[in-house]
Amino acid sequence: MSAGITTLDNTVAALAPEARRLFDRLYDVAMSEARIVPPKAMEGWIAGAFKYLAATPEGVLEAIRRQPIIHVANRVTGQATLFNAVRSQRPIEARGEGDLAKEIEGAKAKCSFCRPLEQTPANTFGRIGEAKTCANVAAYDGYHGLVIFEDHSPLRFRHDAFAPGEIADLFATSTAWAEKAHAEDPQARFFFLMWNCLWKAGASIIHGHAQMTVGRRFHYGKVERLRRDALAYAAKYGSNYFDDFVKVHEALGLAARYGSVVALAHLTPAKEREILLVADRFENPGLPEAIWRALKVYAREDVKSYNLAVYMPPLGGPDPEWKGFPCLVHLVDRGDPAAKTADVGAMEMYASAVVSADPFGLAEVMK
């Protein structure tokens, strides 16, 4: 049997001593089993609703009666995830893309991003490249801009024609935008680049676009939290947290090399199929292609709605307080756009991520 999240304890037990030491320094694992007792009258429904779990109705019932739960916690950052494959939201019948494509195409007639010069505001320093950027009409922060993609459809990443050069262009455009903001206000140093694809991921406008902000005084809360956790780790162990974090994923078989960028199937994903790209810096020339490859993985996995978020040290030259902090690109699947329920609830907001997709399975697709 190949490695999987349900046998994480065995995989960890088989690690070489050095890798095991690092794993124990970074992670805690608890295995448990949820046992339920369905009444006879429920059996038929269970066999149908969860038929992806086993080949026979009896197999499905057994999988529901005893559900393995794997609780993984990052001791350094507090990020934690509960895995239970039974919670898979996978639709039983493969859903056609027709309705979604129609809805995207139908939004074109009234799409302001298809006419950015008339229907989107500019930032105070203007736009980058004629009409590639605009200001957000309802801003998150003092500096908030958007990169409007050429293609109206946000599902372009699923098409064969989608090329790494498009991500490189996004990087060049967003960097030029952030530098303008930073030049206008040198205290605005904390550049955050993000991309919400479709409404499940928080996008209110269908037309493909990325967003960027530049914050003042300190970085956004989660980025600053990670910086402090990594500093505390370095002070305690005399070792770079991010190097050790990558080593642990490599030892478990959860890493792939995309040129000079490491791609990880994250062991404590925020939600389904989280991929983390670790690059030495945002300017790493191989980073756009690594993102392109990660998006190809998403296309293969039939992901339609996702978030992408980039963590990096502040603008304006090396800052000793950020020494050893790399560039981290997060990608996470936000579920089926046809599903009405939100993919996050009280558990995810206030306790722990709850995830069904197995990072070991994702890693196989990433390699």
Contact residues for Zn ion, defined by CB under 5 A: 111, 113-114, 152, 207
Nearer to Zn ion, 60 or 104 (CB): 104
Nearer to Zn ion, 149 or 177 (CB): 149
Nearer to Zn ion, 134 or 279 (CB): 134
Smallest separation (angstroms) from Zn ion to the CB of 170: 16
269: its two tokens: 């994903």
Smallest separation (angstroms) from Zn ion to the CB of 155: 13
Nearer to Zn ion, 76 or 198 (CB): 198
Q: Supply φ then ψ for residue 123, to 5 degrees.
A: -75, 165
Smallest separation (angstroms) from Zn ion to the CB of 209: 9
19: its two tokens: 């890798």
Only one residue has tokens 């399975």, namely 361
- 116 burial (CB, 10 Å; 0-12 / 13-18 / 19+) is buried
Residues ≥6 apart with Cβ < 8 Å to 341: none
Nearer to Zn ion, 206 or 363 (CB): 206
Nearer to Zn ion, 180 or 207 (CB): 207
Nearer to Zn ion, 207 or 249 (CB): 207
Smallest separation (angstroms) from Zn ion to the CB of 115: 8
Element (H, E) at 288: helix 287-300
- Residue 29 gets the label, from left (phi > 0), alpha (psi -120 to 50) or beta, of beta
Element (H, E) at 281: none
Smallest separation (angstroms) from Zn ion to the CB of 101: 14
Distance between CA atoms of residues 86 and 64, nearest Å: 7
Residues ≥6 apart with Cβ < 8 Å to 221: none
Smallest separation (angstroms) from Zn ion to the CB of 104: 9
Distance of alpha carbon 305 from the chain centroid = 11
Smallest separation (angstroms) from Zn ion to the CB of 137: 15
Q: What is the DSSP letter of 254?
A: -
- 290 burial (CB, 10 Å; 0-12 / 13-18 / 19+) is buried
Smallest separation (angstroms) from Zn ion to the CB of 111: 3
Amino acid code (one letter) for 208: G
Nearer to Zn ion, 104 or 309 (CB): 104
Amino acid code (one letter) for 205: I
Element (H, E) at 155: none
Amino acid code (one letter) for 226: L
Torsion of CA 145, 146, 147, 152, to 10 degrees: -160
Smallest separation (angstroms) from Zn ion to the CB of 114: 4
Nearer to Zn ion, 80 or 111 (CB): 111
Q: Check if the beta carbon of residue 7 is closer than 8 Å to that of residue 1.
A: yes
